[in-house]
Chains A and B, each alone.
Chain A
Amino acid sequence: MNDENTGPEAEDRVTGEEVDTEPASNGPDRRIWARITGAEGDWRSQVLVPVLAVFTALVIGAVIIAVSDVDLLGLWGDDAGEAFRQTLARIGDAYGGLFKGAFGSVRGVSETFTWATPLILAGLSVAIGFRAGLFNIGAEGQMLMGGMLALVIGFQLNVTIWLHLPLAILGGFIGGAIWGGIPGWLRARTGAHEVITTIMFNWIAIRFVDYALKTTFIQREGRPDRISKDVLESARLPKLLSWIDPQYRLNAGIIVALLAAWGVYWLLFKSTVGFEFRAVGANPDGARYAGMNVTRAYILVMAVAGGLGGLAGSTQILGVLGNATPGFSANLGFDAIALALLGRSHPFGVVLAGILFGALRAGGQQMQVASDVGIDLILVIQALIVVFIAAPELIRAIFRVRAVKAAEQITRGWAT
């Protein structure tokens, strides 16, 4: 029983006439725009909706700030004017700190891009999955496993930087690729849904890192707690702004991230492999009829996605941290989901969204210092952004913007 055929689209369209397509004089510029963004629709849905989504999320975040201070809530009963003033001041402090921490100084910008690096890479990991109809929630675990392999190569080998650094980065990619590839293989071969398996692989990875950091091979000598040996200097991603101030953490990882974004773009839109990925994502049955190997595509997509997640982990280890401690992935793999959606699962959108989320992370720490509003608020804001991105009609309802693209079905349920 194919319900698709009973809708007005199929059965009752007056045939022979093209009715609801765009006019033939569809300007070339708009077509190029659609090509670049990989999606149909005009600037409203491509630019306005994301901007309004971020704005609305920040407004709701402000409300949460206002109601989450117990003392301040008590004040409303005594002196509403004063409470109002203090509430505004608190919100002002928080968002002021947020902005200053992100863009207010060279250090802030450096921090923003330092955070953006793993975020972009993990975001690409999720985005490439979405393009192929797979939901990779496992970027967190892939970061951990990739990062651990990069770490081991980083402290174990002792070769020139020209060999050592690329090897360590490659190791990160491979570690993540294996950790992502297994769920891909399970999905392709057994139908085990990647949402469940990747989540489980996250937890397995977390426990594994806990274990590994206690082994004599990895644990730093003379330390009782879970901390690894340091990566050798020859495997460290060079700092880019040390000529201004050696404290600035921005490193060559950002270049890796941008190259990866370009690589994903090329893969998705310029190569036959990407053509297959996108076809499998949009219609696996159709892809099979067209002779594509859907099983291989699923495994490959998840391996590449995992590899990108692994790169995110290794830029953290090799560029920022220099060693591993439990939870060094810092939940960035979960931020990546929101980020990929905000970036419309397009590599260039992911870069922009990654910079925004990097700014939130960098600014969030300043916010915590400036106003004692906890950094976890950032997570809430990110979740709200995704709500508005995923349900553009909400934005339409709030702001009365017309012609917003309807929500899309990206993933598939348990029935494969």
Chain B
Amino acid sequence: MELELKGITKRFPGVLANDRVNLEIKSGEILGLLGENGAGKTTLMNILYGLYSATEGDILIDGRVQDFQSPGDAIAAGIGMVHQHFMLVPVFSVAENVVLGVEPTRAAGILNMEEARRDVRQISAKYGLEVDPDAVIEDLPVGIQQRVEIIKVLFRQAEIIVFDEPTAVLTPQEVEEFFGIVRSLRDAGKGIIFITHKLDEIREVADRINVLRRGRIVGEADPKVVGKEELAELMVGRPVELVVAKEEANPGAPVLEVEDLVVLDDRNHPNVDGVSFTVHAGEIVGIAGVQGNGQTELVEALTGLRTALSGVVRLSGEVVTDDTPREIHRKSVAHVPEDRQRSGLVLTFTVAENLVLDSYYDEPFSRGVVMDWGRTRENARALVEEYDVRTPSIEVEVRNLSGGNQQKVIVAREFSRDVKFTVASQPTRGLDVGSIEYIHERIVKERDAGGAILIVSTELDEVMALSDRILVMYRGKIVAERRPDETDTTKLGLFMAGVTET
């Protein structure tokens, strides 16, 4: 089978997401589609999958023009897709998820679950994708969930399979295993489109690389010969510094001290299970780990959003374990939350309002209960200038800004105060390279000014580049502590997967 995208253009109101994109893929090859966040990769694949319709351009299969009105049409034409955010119903079983939409039935539409289970087992055996058909999705680790997604696609007899940022949630070891699966699918004659912004991965697995920038295909590359720097420049459009420039840290007195902290998650599992560590003034401590190993609960406990079951948190010697978020905020703690749209901002508030979202209650932004909008606006004008927030006006609702500028609003708000301790979760998730560089620079500047900083990130590269000290979290425990210059991503990856030293 041969798939061809010809002159695909997609316009959203005010945005040109894809601009005359041409792509080709044949059975038995892996095409790598490289592009940074916001380059238009996901839009392109959603068009291929019938979720969006293209403004212009054609999709051809074996030379025939296709008209995909819905994913159903794309599936029927032999296209399968593993989405970046898994499309699995969490409360359904594996078998139910696999057959959904093409269910085997008896008379009168009654489900035949035995047949569904049998089919799942068959595919599992054929491709070496081991999974229990009766397990409920929400109980499975993400690595296994991804297998279910792949089984789903194979069950529908897809010939071309699209993987959209498939490695974002996996440990380095799981990534290796995943590459094995991808290669065996290729060898079984499937065509694979592998979408990513990670340079190493694409060079390792792809047979051919296309680079997408600002909605346009800007180049092709042969993964065997192309260098990392060259690829990065192609992706971003300018030379990129791949390491964060920073001086040696100069740690001072301990600022944050955590002792034996135990925190329960929403389902009452001790997702932080006896954690102790210290962050000193003037250093950046990075927490590495696969998502869901307790980082979220740890940060929530540190910032007062979640009550700890036991243990002690001290800020400059003062116990703050049971403080409210407001009390902790008052003690000069800055918090850049994990999910900026859900918790860091009020999207329907203006830039100016968001810039005082957690400090509105006090001078100079209010007196008593009376807001001082004049001061608030002055503050906004100054911060927009200083932090290079690209917005037409401070009165614009923040939902109208790009992701990078939204994050800058949060960083401006949190860093503009006089802070002793900063905790930043996933500070650059989903941002373009320019914004990432800017935010990294700001964090280092904060450290050099004597701030104690805790970075939580699932991007191992980011943790390696930023941290002066790295802690690895696995199943609620800190399983390793390393300096970045005495370790590498492979070793950290093993810790992240739960392998311990003896």
Direct touch of chains A and B (CB < 8 A): yes
Please state if B358 and A285 are interface contacts (CB–CB under 8 Å). no
Contact B349 A282 (CB under 8 A): yes
- Which of B42, B86, B325, B369 meets A11, CB within 8 Å? B42
- Residues of B197-251 at the interface with A, using a CB-CB cut-off of 8 Å, are 214-215
Query: How would residues 316 to 349 of chain B score, 1 for a CB under 8 Å from any chain A CB and 0 otherwise?
Result: 0000000011101100000101010111111111
Cα distance A285–B306 in the bound complex, in angstroms? 13
Chain A residues, CB < 8 A from B14: 19-20
Is B278 interfacial (CB 8 A cutoff)? no
Report yes or no: B403 in contact with A273, Cβ–Cβ below 8 A: no
Q: Does B186 contact A (CB under 8 A)?
A: no
* Docked complex Cα distance between A24 and B351 (Å): 14
A245 at the binding interface (Cβ < 8 Å) = no
Q: A17 near B: Cβ within 8 Å?
A: yes
B342 touches A2 (CB 8 A): yes
Q: Mark B12-25, 1 if CB is under 8 A from A, else 0.
A: 11111100000000
**A4: which B residues are within 8 A, CB to CB?**
341-342
Contact B371 A275 (CB under 8 A): yes
Specify which chain A residues have a CB less than 8 angstroms from the CB of B405 in the assembled complex.
Answer: 15, 18
In the bound complex, CA of A22 to CA of B351 (Å): 14
Given A24-B393, A291-B358 in contact, is the A17-B370 Cβ separation under 8 Å? Answer: no
Distance (Å) between the CB of A239 and the closest chain B CB?
Answer: 36
**Interface membership of A71, Cβ < 8 A:** no
List, in ascending order, chain B residues with CB within 8 A of A34's CB. 395
**B391 — which chain A residues lie within 8 A by C-beta?**
18, 21
Q: Which residues of A contact B43 (CB under 8 A)?
A: 8, 11-12
Contact with B along A1-34 (1 / 0, CB 8 A): 1111110111111111111111110100001001
In the complex, are the beta carbons of A282 and B346 less than 8 A apart? yes
Q: From known contacts A11-B42, A275-B371, infer whether A21 and B400 are also in contact, taking CB-CB under 8 Å.
A: yes
* Contact size range, A: 35 or more
A283:B347 contact, CB within 8 angstroms: yes
**Chain B nearest CB, measured from A29 CB (Å):** 13
Q: Find out whether the CB atom of B369 lies under 8 angstroms from the CB atom of A273.
A: yes
> Interface centre among B215, B348, B432, by most A CB within 10 Å?
B348
Contact of B349 among A2, A19, A21, A279 (CB under 8 A): A279
Within 8 A of B (CB), among A262-280: 270-275, 278-279
Asked whether, in the complex, the Cβ of B357 is within 8 Å of the Cβ of A290, the reply is yes
CB distance from B89 to the nearest CB of A (A): 10
Closest residue on chain B to residue A267 by CB atoms: B369
Q: List chain A residues, Cβ under 8 A from B357.
A: 279, 286, 290
Q: A412 contacts the other chain (Cβ, under 8 Å)?
A: no
Counting CB contacts under 8 A, is B85 at the interface?
Answer: yes
Which of B42, B346, B400 contacts A20 (CB under 8 A)? B400
For residue B341, which residues in chain A have a CB less than 8 angstroms away from its CB?
4-5, 10
CA distance A292 to B40 in the complex (A): 37
> Closest approach, in angstroms, between the C-beta of A252 and any C-beta of chain B?
28
Chain B residues 58 to 89 lying within 8 A of chain A, measured CB to CB, are 83-86
Rounded to whole angstroms, the CA-CA distance of A6 and B341 in the bound complex is: 13
Any chain B CB within 8 A of the CB of A40?
yes
Instruction: Determine if B305 is an interface residue (Cβ-Cβ < 8 Å).
Output: yes
In the bound complex, residues from chain A placing their C-beta under 8 Å from that of B41 are 12
Determine whether the beta carbon of B38 is less than 8 Å from that of A11: yes
Q: Tell me which residues across on chain A come within 8 A of B344, comparing CB atoms.
A: 286, 289
Tell whether B459 is near chain A: CB-to-CB under 8 Å.
Answer: no
Q: Which residue of chain B has its CB nearest to the CB of A271?
A: B369
Number of residue pairs A-B, CB distance < 8 angstroms: 164
Chain A nearest Cβ from B385, distance in angstroms: 14
Q: In the complex the two chains form, is B326's CB within 8 Å of A293's CB?
A: yes
What per-residue 1/0 map shows which CB atoms of B251-282 lie under 8 Å from chain A?
Answer: 00000000000000000000000000000000
CA distance A310 to B329 in the complex (A): 37
- Residues of chain B lying within 8 A (CB to CB) of residue A271: 369-371
Most buried by B among A282, A287, A289, A292: A289
Q: Which chain B positions have C-beta within 8 A of A16?
A: 390, 402, 404, 432, 434-435
Contact A14 B15 (CB under 8 A): yes
A146 shortest CB reach to chain B, Å: 24
Q: Indicate if B392 sits at the interface (CB-CB under 8 A).
A: yes
Query: Quick check: is B155 within 8 A (CB to CB) of the other chain?
Result: no
| A11-B37, A18-B390 known; A5+B396 contact, CB < 8 A | no
Residue B401 at the chain A interface, CB threshold 8 Å: yes
Q: For the complex, is B474 an interface residue (Cβ under 8 Å from A)?
A: no
Chain B interface, number of residues (Cβ within 8 angstroms): 67
Q: Do A12 and B40 have beta carbons less than 8 Å apart?
A: yes
B366 an interface residue at 8 Å Cβ cutoff? yes
Contact B15 A19 (CB under 8 A): yes
Distance (Å) between the CB of B391 and the closest chain A CB?
7
Residue of A nearest to B404 (CB): A15
Tell me if B361 counts as interface (CB < 8 A to partner A).
yes
Distance in Å from the Cβ of A149 to the closest Cβ of chain B? 27
Q: Residue B103 at the A interface, CB < 8 A?
A: no
Task: For the complex formed, measure the closest distance between the CB of B97 and the CB atoms of chain A, giving whole angstroms.
Answer: 13
B421 lies within 8 A of chain A by Cβ: no
Is A288 close to B, CB under 8 A?
A: yes
Residue of A with least CB distance to B40: A12
Whether A18 and B360, one on each chain, are in contact in the complex, defined by CB atoms closer than 8 angstroms, is: no
Q: Which residues of B contact A289 (CB under 8 A)?
A: 303, 305, 325, 335, 337, 343-344, 358
Which residues of chain A come closer than 8 Å to B37, judged between CB atoms?
A: 11, 15
From B341, B347, B353, B434, residue with most partner A Cβ within 10 Å: B341
- Given contact pairs A16-B402, A289-B335, A8 touches B347 in the complex (Cβ within 8 A): no
Is A14's CB under 8 angstroms from B395's CB?
Answer: no
Q: Name the distance in Å between B347's Cβ and chain A's nearest Cβ.
A: 7
Q: With A6-B42, A12-B42, A279-B357 known to touch, is A18 a contact of B402 (CB < 8 Å)? A: yes
Q: Mark A218-261, 1 if CB is under 8 A from B, else 0.
A: 00000000000000000000000000000000000000000000
| Residue among A19, A26, A291 making CB contact with B324, cutoff 8 Å | A291
B111 to chain A, nearest CB (A): 24
**B361, B392, B399: the one within 8 Å of A18 (CB):** B392
Contacts of B326 in A (CB 8 A): 291-293
Contact of B392 among A1, A8, A23, A40 (CB under 8 A): A23
Q: Check A286 against B12 for contact (C-beta < 8 Å).
A: no
Q: Per-position contact with A for B133-177: 1 when CB-CB < 8 Å, else 0?
A: 000000000000000000000000000000000000000000000
Q: Which chain A residues border B361 with CB–CB below 8 Å?
A: 272, 291
Docked-complex contact A2 and B397, CB < 8 angstroms? no
- The A13-61 residues at the B interface (CB cut-off 8 A) are 13-24, 26, 31, 34, 40
Q: Please tell me if the beta carbons of B342 and A285 are within 8 angstroms of each other in the complex.
A: yes
Given A18-B405, A286-B344, do A1 and B85 touch, yes or no (CB 8 Å)? yes
Residues of A within 8 A of B435 (CB): 15-16
Closest Cβ of chain A to B352, distance in Å, is 11
The interface centre, meaning the residue of A31, A291, A292 with most chain B CB atoms within 10 A of its CB, is: A291
Rounded to whole Å, the gap between the CB of B37 and the closest CB of chain A is 7
Known contacts A14-B16, A289-B305, A291-B358; is-contact A2 B346 (Cβ 8 Å): no
The chain A residue with its CB closest to the CB of B342 is: A285
Task: Tell me the complex Cα distance, A272–B362, Å.
Answer: 9
17 contacts between A and B (CB under 8 A): A4-B341, A6-B83, A6-B84, A8-B17, A12-B42, A13-B38, A13-B403, A14-B402, A15-B402, A17-B390, A21-B392, A31-B395, A272-B371, A282-B349, A285-B342, A289-B335, A291-B326
Given A15-B37, A16-B432, A20-B13: 11 more A-B contacts, CB < 8 Å: A2-B339, A5-B85, A12-B12, A12-B41, A13-B15, A14-B402, A40-B397, A271-B371, A283-B348, A285-B342, A291-B328
Chain A residues packing against B (C-beta within 8 Å): 1-6, 8-24, 26, 31, 34, 40, 270-275, 278-279, 282-283, 285-293
The 9 nearest A-B residue pairs measured at CB: A20-B14, A291-B326, A290-B358, A24-B392, A15-B432, A19-B14, A15-B38, A289-B343, A291-B325
- Which residues does B use to contact A, with CB under 8 Å? 12-17, 37-38, 40-43, 83-86, 90, 214-215, 303, 305, 324-326, 328-329, 335, 337, 339, 341-349, 353, 357-358, 360-361, 366, 369-371, 373, 390-393, 395-397, 399-405, 430-432, 434-435
